[in-house]
Chain A
Amino acid sequence: MIHPATVLAIVLMASMTYLTRIAGYLVLRHRTLGTRAITVLEAAPGCVLIAVIAPRFVSNSLADILALLITLVAAIRLPMLATVIIGVVAAGVLRHLLP
């Protein structure tokens, strides 16, 4: 089943999302940036990534905080897949062990 109002909402939502994807690129495409602007843009990816997961660092759950720390240590040394497995297992186990 397809409802017209639902489709309209989805199409407009997706259009807005796509707009956010291309806008930054379109604005900067033909610009030559100074060193300062480049320094700022180079810090940007890390700033975005860490901001997205920031709520994890202030979780109310002791199990979640411990699991995050274990995952953090794993991420320093191990490849992606191993880190993901360790993080998931640590969170699953700690949540059952701790209240």
Chain B
Amino acid sequence: MYQISSHLEHKRNPIPRRETYAFTSQLRFDMRAFQSPTLAAPAHDHHEARRGFVAALPVMLGFVPFALVLGAQAAQKGLSPIEVPLMTGLNFGGGSEFAAIRLWTSPPHIGLIVAIAFLVNSRHLLMGATLARFIRHLPLRKALPALFFMCDESWAMGLADARQRASTSPSFSLRYYLGLSAGLYLTWITFTTIGAIVGPMIGNIDAYGFDMAFPAVFLVLLRGMWKSARAARPWLVSLIMAAATHVWIPGAWYVAAGAASGLLAAYVWADQP
């Protein structure tokens, strides 16, 4: 369960440049047709949102089979096609949703569900802390709603984009982030609902290869974050500790154990020239 759920969450934007460029030229063309300077700002915002949405397309594709399976599992546990989107729409965290559905009873054990949500999502604490530097310029009324959409994929893609635009100020593009988040969010809600409705017709997707979409997305994201072998040493520590924890300790502890070990290593190694 945790293994499946863990694959649910992440991504970034190595979308082929050509696609992005195509949209850019098209947009410029449209603007020339209107020739209105007052349209310039909104059109630029729109372009940023579209750029995010397009960057998210491969990840949205990866979401579909998992969303269908989650919806189907939830339906099996007695959740209705209204309750399923209520959960996936309010919670929007695949890992915690798979875990919660696995433990779902009628009536649900609320304390257990909430504790699992915290455990599986505790990495959000670190993700939010990492993002804080990049969204400091945003007022709370914008930052707090934006953070609602922070999943592994949207976070990693937003950060990666900010790093690529390091020379721009602010480097973090809220519109880009919201555009990609919209794509991910709508895909997740839509297909978990469809899964709840057509549930019994869905077999075991692991028999195919769709579950490999998530490691693929995560690995491309990691590639985008790569600076040097030296800087990546904490990743290796995290990988080894997380894998060992997964093998020897049941439950979702491996993410926290791996990430904490990696950070400790980064802290210790930060001294070296």
In angstroms, Cα B91 to Cα A27, docked, is 22
Which residues does chain A contribute within 8 Å of B270, judged by CB atoms?
35-36, 39-40
> Any chain A CB within 8 A of the CB of B258?
yes
In angstroms, Cα B130 to Cα A38, docked, is 9
In angstroms, Cα B109 to Cα A9, docked, is 8
> Any chain A CB within 8 A of the CB of B190?
no
**Is A53's CB under 8 angstroms from B215's CB?**
yes
**Is A24's CB under 8 angstroms from B128's CB?**
yes
In angstroms, Cα B94 to Cα A43, docked, is 24
**Is A48's CB under 8 angstroms from B127's CB?**
yes
- Contact pattern, B 94-135, Cβ under 8 Å of A = 1, otherwise 0: 001000100000111010011001100111111111111101
In angstroms, Cα B239 to Cα A73, docked, is 17
Least CB distance, A87 to chain B, in whole angstroms: 4
In angstroms, Cα B144 to Cα A34, docked, is 25
> Any chain A CB within 8 A of the CB of B209?
yes
**Is A43's CB under 8 angstroms from B209's CB?**
no
**Is A44's CB under 8 angstroms from B219's CB?**
no
> Any chain A CB within 8 A of the CB of B220?
yes
| Interface-centre pick from B79, B123, B152 (highest chain A CB count, 10 A) | B123
Q: Which residues A9-57 have CB closer than 8 A to chain B?
A: 9-14, 16-18, 20-29, 33, 35-36, 38-57
Least CB distance, B38 to chain A, in whole angstroms: 34
- Picked from A3, A22, A56, the residue with its CB within 8 Å of the CB of B215 is A56
- Picked from A12, A28, A46, A50, the residue with its CB within 8 Å of the CB of B129 is A28
Which residues does chain B contribute within 8 Å of A8, judged by CB atoms?
110
Which residues does chain B contribute within 8 Å of A21, judged by CB atoms?
121, 124, 127-128, 147-148, 150
In angstroms, Cα B267 to Cα A35, docked, is 11
> Any chain A CB within 8 A of the CB of B243?
yes
**Is A14's CB under 8 angstroms from B126's CB?**
no
**Is B107's CB under 8 angstroms from A75's CB?**
no
Judged by DSSP, the binding face of A is helix
> Any chain A CB within 8 A of the CB of B90?
yes
Stretch at the interface among B22-30, B41-49, B58-66, B168-176: B58-66
**Is A87's CB under 8 angstroms from B156's CB?**
no
In angstroms, Cα B213 to Cα A46, docked, is 18
> Any chain A CB within 8 A of the CB of B207?
yes
In angstroms, Cα B250 to Cα A98, docked, is 27
> Any chain A CB within 8 A of the CB of B259?
yes
- Picked from B100, B130, B213, the residue with its CB within 8 Å of the CB of A13 is B100
> Any chain B CB within 8 A of the CB of A62?
no
* B contacts, CB < 8 Å to A: 2-3, 6-7, 9-16, 57-59, 61-62, 79-80, 82-83, 86-87, 90-93, 96, 100, 106-108, 110, 113-114, 117-118, 121-133, 135-136, 143-144, 147-148, 150, 152, 155-156, 159, 207-223, 225, 231-232, 234-235, 237-239, 241-243, 246-247, 254-259, 262-263, 265-267, 270
* A contacts, CB < 8 Å to B: 1-3, 5-14, 16-18, 20-29, 33, 35-36, 38-58, 67-68, 71-72, 74-76, 78-81, 83-84, 86-93, 95
Apart from A5-B110, A25-B131, A75-B216, 17 more pairs, CB < 8 Å = A1-B82, A13-B113, A16-B118, A23-B125, A35-B270, A45-B130, A46-B225, A46-B238, A47-B263, A50-B218, A52-B242, A53-B219, A58-B246, A80-B11, A81-B16, A83-B219, A88-B216
